[in-house]
């Protein structure tokens, strides 16, 4: 085990700190109002995953008795989560919703509704909701029901006795997931406003009607979050796909880790629920508003108010480098490599490249990794069509892409059904690399064309994730890609590629070696510089390498979107290291590694699918590839690094205690946003 050179920041607190930065977007007056609400929804979605995975892992580590995670650690992180959620609801109730009401957009509680709206809600309840509700009164024959992960329920305490004279006073009502959570009131009865009612409010108003002859004395919404990591022993199973398919059916009923109720929930009912889910008091989250704010995305989607959204942004086509309607394969063969910067540039050239390969009779084989391609995917459809046309198709499908397992299993089965070769990578290692390789017969010889990316093969997320894609016909690079595919398929002994770096084999070691070279140059008083743009920094060895380079005098700039465990600014230790995070309209996702050292000012610049985390470096298949063309190198620096180092509007600076402070404010005109600058770069009118 690698011991840190400096005390590291807590990873879970670092994740919560990232979500504080996201939540701060909901308070910015320069962010359109519906987008501010969307940031609140994003934080809720992020926190769901935090509890399902990270906090659940933390609880497991506490229980294993190793001492790596103590009860005090869990208490501290839980307290920070409580504070963040309280702040989230305060912003929702006190800032965003009042501002929406000023624009005649409102959520109506029962007390706020006119008689006409109440009559409409009542009809809606009878027609759409009541037929799907099945109240369960608890008794020995009706035990507490199975409650699935993140499913919404009501608990009610009833007066009197049931139809058989029994004193069963507790009832549970499941809220069906098939029903919309946000219902728009018809304009004809809304008085010129855009009015909405929440499904929970509709049920609450008619809850007593579900229990004829009895009175609802007390009630609350509740939702439980469960450990949702799929645990599969890959060494002990014969078929990973079948095992995961089976595991998906039980995922929704893992160990409970969080219970949410409304803040008016009586103590008696919350204690009863905690007992049912075997949870301590600290796992109870009382919220001042709707349980599960994620579903308010439905309000955003239904609201007619374009001026309260970001102005539409259409990614540009790389005109000078890839003329529309012409062969991309010809362009790569004759003019060299092409870099695409998403979402400022369109992802469509990647789709066009694959479509061209499918339709070209001289293309013999297509190989691609599939990680998060989505349940609807034009790229996967094209791979299926290629196999139908008789081309050799190899798909490396990562079945354990968290929360995309089912979609990927479905794609694997569809690909196999048309004769494609489907493999699932290497046992124990997630295939996170993003690679596509096309082999074509040209003049009696075979030539390869490749695409590598820092992000997923997903046209939808490519519109709001920042990523760098790389198209190449370079013989050595594409030969390396072919080597990676062969190793993933055949499980042959590792052979080092010439240009690519591959985790878990040589990527981690090479990054440490480059940091060491920078450190040694700094000790000699020579130029020494490190700039990293990554999503997370949690690997202790790499953190040590960065700390030592900085301690030796190297200037280190880290642009870390999410969790960072390196504490910058410690006197005599990390005071040469600056850590910043950029949170804007798009999700920062690209990974760029830049090193410069020595009198000759040697440089190394890599793009990668990997973050600087132990899991990415040691337990995943990841790639990094060098950018050696001078023009492309300069473009990576000018677009992927420099704007982010000078961002004074969307950037935050991390302090040694793990908290971050926003660098600028929206009310100062001269402040600049990297993302806005890149939007202007690719569009005369952003």
Q: Are 438 and 333 in contact (CB under 8 A)?
A: no
Are residues 377 and 242 part of one domain? no
pLDDT score for 3: 75
pLDDT score for 165: 57
pLDDT score for 250: 53
Q: Cα(406)–Cα(487) distance, rounded to whole angstroms?
A: 25
The structure tokens listed for 646 are 């000078």
Are residues 492 and 547 part of one domain? no
In this predicted structure, the answer to whether residue 232 has a pLDDT above a threshold of 50 is no
User: Is 5 within the bounds of a domain?
Assistant: no
pLDDT score for 238: 45
Check whether 457 is labelled as a binding-site residue: no
In this predicted structure, the answer to whether residue 236 has a pLDDT above a threshold of 50 is no
pTM listed for this prediction: 0.93
User: Is 6 within the bounds of a domain?
Assistant: no
User: Is 461 within the bounds of a domain?
Assistant: yes
Are residues 612 and 483 part of one domain? no
Are residues 590 and 525 part of one domain? yes
Torsion region of 599: left, alpha or beta (phi above 0 gives left; psi -120 to 50 gives alpha): alpha
Q: Using the 8-state DSSP alphabet, how is residue 426 labeled? A: B
Domain count, the chain: 3
Q: Given 462, 483, 499, which residue is the final one in a domain?
A: 499
Q: What is the mean pLDDT of residues 494-513?
A: 94
Between 241 and 488, the more confident residue is 488
Q: Could you list the residue range(s) of the whole structural domain that residue 172 is in?
A: 11-308
Confidence of residue 181 (pLDDT cuts 50, 70, 90): very high
Between 664 and 156, the more confident residue is 156
pLDDT tens, residue by residue, 394-444: 998 877 655 556 777 788 888 989 999 988 867 678 889 999 999 999 988
Strand-pairing partners, residue 436, are: 368, 451
Check whether 258 is labelled as a binding-site residue: no
pLDDT score for 409: 78
pLDDT tens, residue by residue, 653-679: 999 999 999 997 766 666 889 999 999
Q: Given 250, 275, 308, which residue is the final one in a domain?
A: 308
pLDDT score for 231: 56
pLDDT tens, residue by residue, 52-91: 999 998 988 888 777 788 899 999 999 999 999 999 999 9
Are residues 251 and 237 part of one domain? yes
In this predicted structure, the answer to whether residue 2 has a pLDDT above a threshold of 90 is no
In this predicted structure, the answer to whether residue 237 has a pLDDT above a threshold of 50 is no
Are residues 453 and 522 part of one domain? no
Between 398 and 567, the more confident residue is 567
- How crowded is residue 32: how many other Cβ atoms within 10 Å of its Cβ? 17
Handedness of CA 263, 265, 271, 273 (dihedral sign): negative
Q: What is the CATH number of the domain that holds 568?
A: 3.30.870.10
Strand-pairing partners, residue 593, are: 532, 606
pLDDT tens, residue by residue, 323-361: 888 999 999 999 999 999 999 999 999 999 999 999 999
Which residues are part of the catalytic machinery? 432
Check whether 371 is labelled as a binding-site residue: no
pLDDT score for 168: 73
User: Is 666 within the bounds of a domain?
Assistant: yes
Q: Are 27 and 37 in contact (CB under 8 A)?
A: no
pLDDT score for 398: 79
Pairing type for strands 338-342 and 182-184 reads unpaired
Are residues 419 and 566 part of one domain? no
Q: Cα(262)–Cα(242) distance, rounded to whole angstroms?
A: 40
Least confident range from 286-295, 397-406, 586-595, 610-619: namely 397-406
In this predicted structure, the answer to whether residue 280 has a pLDDT above a threshold of 80 is yes
User: Is 44 within the bounds of a domain?
Assistant: yes
Q: Cα(261)–Cα(505) distance, rounded to whole angstroms?
A: 47
User: Is 3 within the bounds of a domain?
Assistant: no
User: Is 320 within the bounds of a domain?
Assistant: no
Torsion region of 304: left, alpha or beta (phi above 0 gives left; psi -120 to 50 gives alpha): beta
pLDDT score for 321: 82
Q: Tell me how long the chain is.
A: 686
In this predicted structure, the answer to whether residue 172 has a pLDDT above a threshold of 50 is yes
Least confident range from 83-92, 192-201, 390-399: namely 390-399
User: Is 671 within the bounds of a domain?
Assistant: yes
Are residues 597 and 470 part of one domain? no
Q: What is the CATH number of the domain that holds 40?
A: 3.30.1840.10
Q: Name the CA dihedral angle for 490, 492, 494, 496, rounded to a multiple of 10 degrees.
A: -70
Are residues 297 and 351 part of one domain? no
pLDDT score for 248: 47
Check whether 39 is labelled as a binding-site residue: no
Q: Are 557 and 531 in contact (CB under 8 A)?
A: yes
Q: Are 596 and 603 in contact (CB under 8 A)?
A: yes
In this predicted structure, the answer to whether residue 283 has a pLDDT above a threshold of 90 is yes
In this predicted structure, the answer to whether residue 295 has a pLDDT above a threshold of 70 is yes
**Given the structure tokens 């700390």, which residue do they identify?**
547
Are residues 446 and 591 part of one domain? no
Are residues 185 and 284 part of one domain? yes
Check whether 402 is labelled as a binding-site residue: yes
Are residues 364 and 300 part of one domain? no
Check whether 463 is labelled as a binding-site residue: no
Q: Given 448, 469, 499, which residue is the final one in a domain?
A: 499
For residue 685, give the 3-state DSSP assignment. coil
């Amino acid at each position: 085990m690698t011991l840190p050179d400096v005390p590291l920041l807590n990873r879970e607190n670092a994740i919560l700190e990232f979500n504080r930065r996201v939540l701060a977007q909901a308070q910015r007056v320069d962010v359109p109002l519906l987008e501010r609400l969307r940031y609140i929804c994003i934080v809720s979605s992020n926190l769901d995953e935090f509890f399902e995975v990270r906090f659940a892992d933390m609880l497991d580590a506490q229980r294993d008795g190793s001492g790596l995670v103590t009860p005090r650690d869990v208490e501290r992180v839980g307290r920070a989560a409580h504070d963040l959620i309280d702040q989230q609801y305060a912003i929702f109730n006190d800032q965003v919703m009042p501002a929406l009401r000023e624009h005649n957009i409102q959520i109506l509680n029962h007390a706020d509704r006119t008689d006409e709206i109440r009559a409409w809600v009542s009809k809606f309840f009878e027609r759409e909701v009541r037929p799907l509700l099945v109240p369960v009164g608890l008794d020995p024959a009706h035990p507490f029901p199975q409650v699935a992960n993140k499913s919404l329920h009501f608990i009610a305490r009833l007066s009197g006795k049931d139809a058989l004279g029994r004193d069963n006073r507790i009832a549970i009502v499941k809220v069906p997931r098939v029903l919309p959570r946000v219902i728009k009131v018809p304009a004809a009865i809304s008085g010129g406003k855009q009015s909405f009612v929440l499904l929970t409010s509709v049920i609450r108003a008619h809850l007593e009607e579900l229990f004829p002859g009895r009175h609802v004395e007390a009630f609350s919404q509740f939702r439980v979050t469960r450990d949702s990591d799929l645990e599969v022993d890959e060494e002990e199973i014969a078929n990973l796909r079948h095992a995961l398919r089976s595991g998906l059916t039980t995922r929704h009923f893992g160990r409970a880790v969080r219970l949410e109720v409304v803040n008016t929930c009586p103590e008696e009912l919350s204690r009863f629920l905690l007992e049912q889910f075997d949870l301590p008091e600290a796992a109870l989250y009382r919220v001042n508003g709707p349980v599960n704010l994620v579903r308010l995305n439905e309000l955003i989607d239904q609201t007619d108010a374009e001026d309260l959204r970001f102005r539409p942004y259409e990614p540009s086509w790389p005109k000078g480098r890839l003329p529309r309607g012409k062969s991309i394969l010809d362009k790569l063969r004759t003019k060299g490599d092409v870099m695409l910067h998403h979402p400022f540039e369109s992802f469509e050239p990647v789709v066009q490249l694959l479509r061209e390969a499918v339709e070209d009779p001289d293309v013999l084989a297509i190989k691609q990794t599939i990680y998060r391609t989505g349940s609807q995917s034009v790229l996967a459809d094209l791979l299926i069509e290629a196999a139908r046309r008789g081309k050799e198709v190899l798909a490396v499908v990562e079945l354990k892409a968290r929360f995309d397992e089912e979609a990927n299993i479905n794609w694997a089965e569809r690909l196999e059904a048309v004769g494609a070769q489907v493999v699932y990578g290497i046992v124990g290692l997630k295939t996170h690399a993003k690679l596509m390789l096309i082999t074509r017969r040209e003049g009696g010889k075979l030539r390869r064309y490749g695409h590598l990316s820092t992000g997923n093969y997903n046209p939808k997320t490519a519109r709001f994730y920042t990523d760098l894609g790389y198209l190449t016909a370079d013989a050595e690079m594409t030969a390396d890609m072919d080597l990676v595919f062969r190793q993933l398929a055949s499980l042959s002994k590792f052979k080092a590629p010439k240009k690519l770096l591959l985790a878990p084999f040589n990527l981690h070691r090479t990054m440490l070696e480059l940091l060491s070279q920078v450190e040694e140059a700094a000790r000699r008083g020579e130029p020494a510089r490190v700039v990293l743009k990554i999503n997370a920094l949690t690997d202790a060895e790499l953190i040590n390498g960065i700390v030592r380079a900085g301690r030796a005098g190297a200037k280190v700039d880290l642009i870390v979107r999410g969790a960072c465990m390196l504490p910058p600014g410690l006197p005599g230790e990390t005071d040469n290291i600056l850590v910043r995070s950029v949170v804007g309209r798009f999700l920062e996702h690209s990974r760029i590694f830049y090193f410069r050292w020595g009198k000759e000012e040697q440089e190394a610049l890599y793009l990668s699918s990997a973050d600087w985390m132990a899991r990415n470096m040691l337990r995943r298949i990841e790639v990094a590839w060098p950018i050696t063309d001078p023009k492309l190198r300069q473009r990576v620096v000018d677009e992927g690094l420099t704007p982010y180092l000078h961002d004074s509007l969307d950037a935050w600076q991390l302090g040694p205690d793990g908290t971050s402070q926003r660098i600028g404010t929206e009310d100062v005109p001269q402040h600049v946003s990297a993302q806005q600058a890149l939007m202007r770069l690719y569009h005369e009118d952003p």
